[in-house]
Every structure is written in C-alpha cells, then in structure tokens.
Structure 1
C-alpha cells in the first residue's frame, strides 16, 4: 500500500510543481485524464527510483552528507527527479498507438532541486494521510 500512497503523492506533487515552476513541464495531452495518467506513471517511476536508486546514492554520498550537515540531500533529491525525468523520456508513450505521451521536462538542475522539495512535501502529506486512513 505504501508504493500506491507514494505514487499518488508524487503525482500530486508533480502536478503542483509543474504549475508553480516554469522549468518543469509535462507533455501536453488531449485531456485532463491523459495528463493525470502521465502524472501517475511519472509518480510511479519516481517512487521506484526513490526506493531503489536513492538508498545507493545516499550510501555513496554519506561523507558529503556529514560535511554539509545533510544539505547534500537536496542535491540527491534533485538528481533522483532528473533521473526519473530521463527514464520517462526514454519510455516513450503509453497506450494503444502511443496515445498518452509520457515524460517530464526539467530545464535545469536548480529547477530539479526546487521541484523535488515541492514534490517531497506534497508527497509526504498525502502519503501520511493515506497511510493513516489504512489503519
């Protein structure tokens, strides 16, 4: 259930981040439903990247976490968002005949860091509410 909560939280955070930041964008699709399908796929990819790749990156960068008093986590979070963006750009499209364009465009690494902060806050709030409802 946690991966579903994280996926939904990431999708909502991505939606907000793309509306607040001009450097983050998703491909324009025909309707709102297709846009949310894209955001859900992006949220799932981001949840998988955060659960599979991020622990390795955190372990390898542990000395930098110590030296920067934990601020290096912002860089790692931005890198995970950039990696999720790269992965979804290479997935292509979803659906019969590629009707739902996938992807996330990140214009700069600074935008990725700010976007990851927004996504993390929204995702944490939504995941906490969904996990609380499960109990």
Structure 2
C-alpha cells in the first residue's frame, strides 16, 4: 500500500472578515466590538485545510478544536465560486459535493489560486479512485 503524502496546506484569507473589521472599527472605542473583531480573526486564523493523497482534512475551532476528514474517493463534484468581492483579492471558494453522509458539501472558503487547487483536487480524487478501485455510479 502506498504511503499518504501531503499535497497542499492552506487557510482561508482574513479578507472574509473585512466588512466586520470595518464596521466594528468604527466603534473601536467600545470594548464589545474589539472582542468581536478578535473572535472573528481567531476563527479564520484557526481554520486549516490539508489535502493529502488520501483525504481532505479541515481543522477548525478557537476554544474547542474539531477535525473533519473526507476520503477523496467520496468526492462527486467540484465547483469553483468566485464572488466579485473575493475576485478583487484573487480569491475564491471551492465547493465539493460528496457522497459522505455527515458532510454532503465541503466549502473551502477564500482560497488563493482557486482554479489550480480545484484541478489538483480533481487529479488527486481520480488517482485515489484508481488506487482503491472505486467507481462512482449515479442511480436515478
């Protein structure tokens, strides 16, 4: 059996918090907005994505940490979403439709080089399916 290797590692961009930072920055003289800014910053800072040859791991949580793993052979479809605001910063979202019952949809938010990563995921999914001899069958 082949050893699992790391392919890509990333985190969402803090750009997704820009609106919150601006609005809360207006009220910087209040203590409460400062806590909101720090909390939103910490949430994004503590979100990590890791793609290996076998699975996609998502780690998140500030006080309580949670790790979700998706076996790559379960990915059914790939979508790339680039809203105007994220395109201004050369970022995008990758949406994975899966056959996993606990996580039917995985969203990698505010990622740079979105097209390149989507293609890398696609190639790794196909390679993983070939290694494990798994076929996806659509039944309607």
Structure-1-length-normalised TM-score: 0.31
Structure number with the higher helix fraction is: 1
